Structure 1
Amino acid sequence: KMSKLLAIALLLLPLINQGIYLATAWDDQDFFKYCPPSQCSQDGPEVRFPFCLESSNTSAAAAASCGCAGRSIRKLACSGRDTILFHPILGPYNVSAIDYGRSSMKLIPLVDPCFVLQQKPVISRSSSSPQADVINYEMPCLYLWNSSLVRCSREFTPGAADRIAGPVSCLSNTTQFFYLVYGYEDMSLLPLECKVVPLSDGVGGGLIPMYMFEDPMSDTLFSPSFKESTERILSFAEMTVYWYDYSDCAECERSGGRCAFSSQRDRQFCSRIKVIAATSSVAAFVLLLLTVATVLYLSLKTRYNAEIHMKVEMFLKTYGTSKPTRYTFSEVKKMARRFKEKLGQGGFGSVYKGELPNGVPVAVKMLENSTGEGESFINEVATIGLIHHANIVRLLGFCSEGMRRALIYEFMPNESLEKYIFSDDSNIFQNLLVPEKLLDIALGIARGMEYLHQGCNQRILHFDIKPHNILLDYNFNPKISDFGLAKLCARDQSIVTLTAARGTMGYIAPELYSRNFGGVSYKSDVYSFGMLVLEMVSGRRNSDPRIGSQDDVYLPEWIYEKVINGEELALTLETTQEEKD
């Protein structure tokens, strides 16, 4: 797969170069020809003027035409996939984002600044770490506090207005206390026994540059103090820093232009026409890339299917002989009488009526166009394939041949609970689903869920409890089915991790949408069960747009209003006064 992608990328290189060349058809074409935006990775920030990305492949002439020659331009570097800004004292920072319109960048420290000061307060020129130019004189200049490191023999509390931070907990102990003091603060504010720690590699006479967090575009008059800025830097957390915008580059970027550099005039300028040309070139490249991607998808589809088949086969080998019976596809086809009698359609495929060689009726579920790399099939076999309970549908066998997969269940003659509780036929309620039977069904579902959550070696979370997935046997005993979205977890694991919400709209617990409501656990199934019970006793769906009043569309809200107002629930099910009591 990677060799094909590499070959396609090599074929596209001339086209990409041609696209870049098209953006150089006007004045100052050298800049846009030789100085296109660059990135350390596809997800990394775009590096362009007024920054430069250091590269050993860049010639001196090319660097000069990009405005990258000498010490006057701030240079970033690549370390693997990370974009790096080197602080002369505190070491490397990962640049996660650059906003040219706001003259800001987000920095993540790669080394704990406090650890650097603790282990090596003076970074010598012989250090193996790349050294930045003196940070005060690079363009664009970052907003900085220049500070001194001070050591005191006793602890003191700086005044609120003093530009003093400390004591620095990671450097101090019971015999000496370290403080960071604004470089131009009056040292007479310090106790007499306090001494400045000399830094032979500091900036501007032993000073340590500390980033400021003052947003020049902010309307507020408040800006973080020296102490707040210093504590934020030492906290080893992500931060946003800003640079001085002497040449109105930010205004140029906000107006849709690009800040550029003219090597002939030796100055910066704002270019707009080149952005349009570059955008057109990028659009053509994207269209070409989509075409190539389509061809690549078709060519890799067969290999992808083979990988899914291999994944399923490896899973089946892991389960060994403890799994249900495995059938060939020809046996399944004969069992289902060539799929003539269709029982229904689910989210993962169609269900057909069949019969085992011994005459036992079964339901054959053919997984059609199943997504998730065989996840639905594996989930079903891994969960109900190894458990037995009166209220859980039994998996009798399965089939896996290439991309053709089938699941064979015990046959449920009375189909799903959905067929009955939402029926318009009043005889069904009066003769079949009387209150006692509804209670038995609800208790049966609860027992099945309790077994899944507490009775197995591994806890099984269903994540799709709803009337359609509750099947009824000859005696209307409920059985939980369809474990395609299920997840296994340890019994002592209270919270599970999911990459996306799963389930059916209307039955999905709030925490599956947003972690603000709490962690995802077996209680998510309990929420779905509660919604199912509300539908059973009311005879209507949890969200039904056919209801006349808009306030009555959402079932829980409708029931809540009834309870708050002391009204009796107008159930579809007809009950006697004695039964209500």
Structure 2
Amino acid sequence: MVSYPVFCLPFIVLLFVQLGLNQNECIESKCGCGCPIVQFPFKIKDSKLDHCGYPGFDLSCIDKHETVLELPAIPVKFFVRSIDYESRVLEVYEPNNCFLRQLLGLNFSFSSPFEFQPKFLKNCSIFDCSPSEGDIGYENSCSIIDTCYQLRAVLSDYIDISDFEKPSCTKMGDISVSWVSREYSLFLSWTNPNCSICEAERKNCKWKSNGTEGEIECFHIPKPIRGKSAKIIATSVVLGSFLLILVVVTVSHIYSSSKEREEYEARIEQFLDDYRALKPTRYSFADIKKITNQFKEKLGQGAYGIVFKGRLFQ
């Protein structure tokens, strides 16, 4: 009979595997295919793994598998195109190209961990012009209260903005942003936490265990296996577990049977030792003549013949 610990073996193995995974539960994730990898200091909002991210680095997943960065202090929603963890640069965009009006109210002086990436920083003046003015500068159309506004961001460092100071154009403000007009992208950067060293070593970054507040450390997480390789590994694990259980059950059965046989033989030997004196003994005619001293003393008549007195010799 197979004991309970044998049947519990697979569950014990799974328990240790689960405990191992829990040690590195802050693995990288995505909002969908083609989306940027999300890892520390970022985390996906409402993922119940708050300790896996840095304050202010919350991302959300919305319809069509888009990754979104929301700044709680202002009503601006950025769609994330890419994240460079080594350079600490975040590329964001607005799918409807309606950045300009939102950027006018954007101010990173609050407690946001982000700022415009200095490498692409440009001074711009935003004008609200009528459609007849043509495509000058960066054109951006936003629909606000069912009214279409033609907004243009003019690079004031390179273009004379006096051409736009006319009745048909109204200056709405000046901003300094880091953007690339070809991709309609804005570039945000962050200073802390600095995981550049970890990324350079092809490692991940996390809160330091038992460290002071704000300390981080590098660690390695194997990349997740997907597709056909994952199916092969999963099948191998299932078959391997089945074969392991089969071998354990077979060995346990053989061991139990052998042990029962040994115990049975031991009981037989003990019985023979205890009752050896009662075991019948066969004697030859010559032995009987010797035992009865040549049939010298007759005792009487028995069912099988005459009974003679004799003496057994050990």
The structure whose RCO (Cα within 8 Å, separation 6+) is larger is 2
Question: TM-score, length-normalised on structure 2?
Answer: 0.46
Question: TM-score, length-normalised on structure 1?
Answer: 0.28
